[in-house]
Structure 1
Amino acid sequence: MPFIVRWPAVIKAGSQSDQTICLTDFMATCADIVGAELPATAGEDSVSFLPAFSDEPIVSTRQGIVHHSISGHFAYRQGKWKLLLAAGSGGWTSPTEKQVSAVAPKGQLYDMEADPGERTNLYQSHPEVVQQLMAQLESDIARGRSTEGAYQANDVNNIQLWKGRITR
């Protein structure tokens, strides 16, 4: 999703970055902008993207980005890979979980460099990538955070990775 910012004193007009960020990162970025230090128990998944404003690399200890859709479906983004733990869109757009064919894979995997439009589902053809991303997602959830730091308790006790999972 595009993110547009205007800050003439800091950001060069017409500049752009292809570094991956998410909404969670606003917390660390805003703290970084005002020089505030976040407590270890706040913004456990947040990484400041302030360096990207100056065409510098974002420094992160995070292996990937945990996403959670409006309908409660998890997704995980790591490098060029995006894993969705839903057969459908995970949201309001079609196909929803109920609209997906019974023979469709139970999840989705996309190479975002080669296929930013998410047209070719590689879930079944790259099981090793699915397994690697699932292991990292499960580790992040178990630790209560995706960045380095002390383990944190999750907001809920029983996190269900496959919400409304269709058995195939």
Structure 2
Amino acid sequence: WTGTINPGISDKLVCTIDFAASFAEMTGVQLPPEACLDSFDVLGALLGSANAAGRGHLVQQDNGRGGNYGLRAGNWKLQRHDSRRRRNARLRLKGRKVARYTLYQLNVDPGETTDVLAKHPDVAQQMIRQLEKLITAGRSRISP
């Protein structure tokens, strides 16, 4: 978007679902409280504004069929494998059995090859609590 967004790379966490809240902010439209339950206003991050933040976390889900979830927050990603199986075509892990929870430190291991849950149980427990709260709420945006 010439003159509005400078080309480049950002390390801010955003998701396409955030377009709804961000475009509403950009156009001055007030979204109803129950609309776009997983959308955050990340307009500043999209526009490359100084000190802009992306979203604080991102929940991933396998369409509900296997009960598997991922929670990304900062440099961490927690995976909950209710099916107790993992799939990663690149690493040829189709159907490989795994623990219920795995934790990855993405700034060190962006390919998610090494589970560091045993090394960082405090991070894992905090993220497990956060993920369970989000699942129970049925939405990513929870009022405090």
Q: TM-score, with normalisation over the residues of structure 1?
A: 0.68
State the match for 1:113 in structure 2.
Answer: 107
User: C-alpha root-mean-square deviation of aligned residues, in Å?
Assistant: 2.5
Q: Which runs of 5+ in 1 are unaligned?
A: 1-6, 151-168
Q: Check conservation: 1:105, 1:123, Cα contact below 8 A.
A: no
Q: Which amino acid aligns with 1:112?
A: L
Q: Check conservation: 1:80, 1:111, Cα contact below 8 A.
A: yes
Using CA pairs under 8 Å that are at least 6 residues apart, name the structure with larger relative contact order, 1 or 2. Answer: 1
Q: Check conservation: 2:5, 2:48, Cα contact below 8 A.
A: yes
Residue aligned with 1:82, SS = strand
Partner residue of 1:136 out of 125, 130, 137: 130
State the match for 2:143 in structure 1.
Answer: 149
State the match for 1:162 in structure 2.
Answer: none
**1:38 equivalenced with 2:54 (yes/no):** no
Q: Deviations over 1:46-98 (max 9, x none)?
A: 112210113331265xx522111255421111111101112413x777423xx
Q: Which amino acid aligns with 2:14?
A: I
**1:80 equivalenced with 2:78 (yes/no):** no
Q: Deviations over 1:16-41 (max 9, x none)?
A: 21001123212112222322111100
Q: Which structure features the higher share of strand residues?
A: 2
Residue aligned with 2:86, SS = coil
Q: Following the alignment from structure 2 to structure 1, what is the Cα–Cα distance between the partners of residues 112 and 54? A: 27
Residue aligned with 2:104, SS = strand
Size of the alignment, in residue pairs? Answer: 136
State the match for 1:15 in structure 2.
Answer: 8
Q: TM-score, with normalisation over the residues of structure 2?
A: 0.78
**1:54 equivalenced with 2:48 (yes/no):** yes
Q: Following the alignment from structure 1 to structure 2, what is the Cα–Cα distance between the partners of residues 107 and 92? A: 19
Partner residue of 1:100 out of 96, 102, 126: 96
Q: Which runs of 5+ in 2 are unaligned?
A: none
Indicate the percent of aligned positions where both proteins have the same amino acid: 32
Q: Following the alignment from structure 1 to structure 2, what is the Cα–Cα distance between the partners of residues 114 and 20? A: 17
